[in-house]
Amino acid sequence: MKLKEARDAINTHVKDLIELCPHCGAKAHIEALWNECHKLRNNDVEFYVIFRCKPCRKLLLKTFFLRQNPYSGNEDLEIKGWTEIFPASLDDQLNKEEKEFIPSEILLDYQEALKCKAISANRAGCAMFRRSLQGALVNLGADPRLDLIKQIESLDNLPKDIKDWAHQIRIFGNWGAHPDKDNLKDIDSGDVAEAHDFTSKFLLYMFIMPEKVKLSREKRKKKTNSGTTGKAGGAEKDG
């Protein structure tokens, strides 16, 4: 394929895609706005395509790669496809709005854990997820002298399923006694993914959902109040 053909194909066919938007966190319709390419030293070609997310209106950039046939003296490009997306989405579990409900100290540790996970710093990632979890537990009133699993056990309003899950997570046991005994020695990407999964669900259950319920209740109350004081006939009432 020639570069001109590739450009024509992108202009013709890359219009509307479905993508996990790094801003709003939803699988959303994104619309292509502009593209340009550059040639690498070895004649591979990289296209930069700017998209707008239809629901949240924010912009993102995706790169599209074509590889030059190394055995050909002529322009001979082979499609490799989409490679990167900017801004990178570090968290596929919680979106930005939801994170506003998490106390800032806990969120700081959680965000740092995400950055470690993104660069495969698995031990640091696990340690930071665990740290954010410990911060959350103490914030929720758990006894700071207890170990992590016992702190999780002590929460009355945490469902049994989540407590049982915590027991299955190897790196949550024996934390803090000694660097050799922190279970971080043989950590892999699966461990950090599970620590992320658990911590995000925990934060969702203990901090985000209660606030969402509260907001929803307030909204409903407001609506009911304006319904009773509003003009007769048009006002709706819910009970």
Task: Find the part of the chain contacting Zn ion (CB under 5 A) among 24-32, 65-73, 89-97, 226-234.
Answer: 24-32
Contacts (CB under 5 A) with Zn ion, residues 106-145: none
- Considering the complex, what minimum distance in angstroms separates the CB of residue 58 from Zn ion? 5
**CA proximity to 148, closest of 166, 160, 164:** 166
Compute how many residues bind Zn ion; rule: CB under 5 A. Answer: 6
Residue from 23, 52, 170, 201 touching Zn ion (CB under 5 A): that is 23
Sheet containing strand 16-20, strands side by side: 16-20, 27-39, 45-53, 59-68, 77-86
CA pair distance 237, 221, nearest whole angstrom:
10
Nearer to Zn ion, 56 or 85 (CB): 56
- Considering the complex, what minimum distance in angstroms separates the CB of residue 162 from Zn ion? 29
- Considering the complex, what minimum distance in angstroms separates the CB of residue 123 from Zn ion? 33
Task: Find the part of the chain contacting Zn ion (CB under 5 A) among 51-59, 103-111, 132-140, 201-209.
Answer: 51-59
- Each residue 177-196 as x (binds Zn ion by CB under 5 A) or -, in order, gives --------------------
Biggest CA–CA distance in the chain, Å, is 81
- Considering the complex, what minimum distance in angstroms separates the CB of residue 20 from Zn ion? 9
Task: Find the part of the chain contacting Zn ion (CB under 5 A) among 25-33, 70-78, 97-105, 131-139.
Answer: 25-33
H/E run at residue 113: helix 104-118
Residue from 45, 53, 94, 124 touching Zn ion (CB under 5 A): that is 53
The residues, ordered by sequence, that sit 6+ positions from 50 with a Cβ below 8 Å of its Cβ are: 32, 33, 34, 35, 59, 60, 61
Task: Find the part of the chain contacting Zn ion (CB under 5 A) among 56-64, 83-91, 104-112, 157-165.
Answer: 56-64
Nearer to Zn ion, 51 or 202 (CB): 51
Distances, alpha carbon 60 to alpha carbons 24, 69, 84, 123, in Å: 11, 30, 11, 30
The residues, ordered by sequence, that sit 6+ positions from 209 with a Cβ below 8 Å of its Cβ are: none
- For position 56 contacting Zn ion by CB under 5 A, the verdict is yes
- Considering the complex, what minimum distance in angstroms separates the CB of residue 139 from Zn ion? 30
CA pair distance 100, 106, nearest whole angstrom:
11
**CA proximity to 151, closest of 131, 137, 136:** 137
Tell how strand 16-20 and strand 45-53 pair up.
unpaired
Q: What are the residues binding Zn ion (CB under 5 A)?
A: 21, 23-24, 28, 53, 56
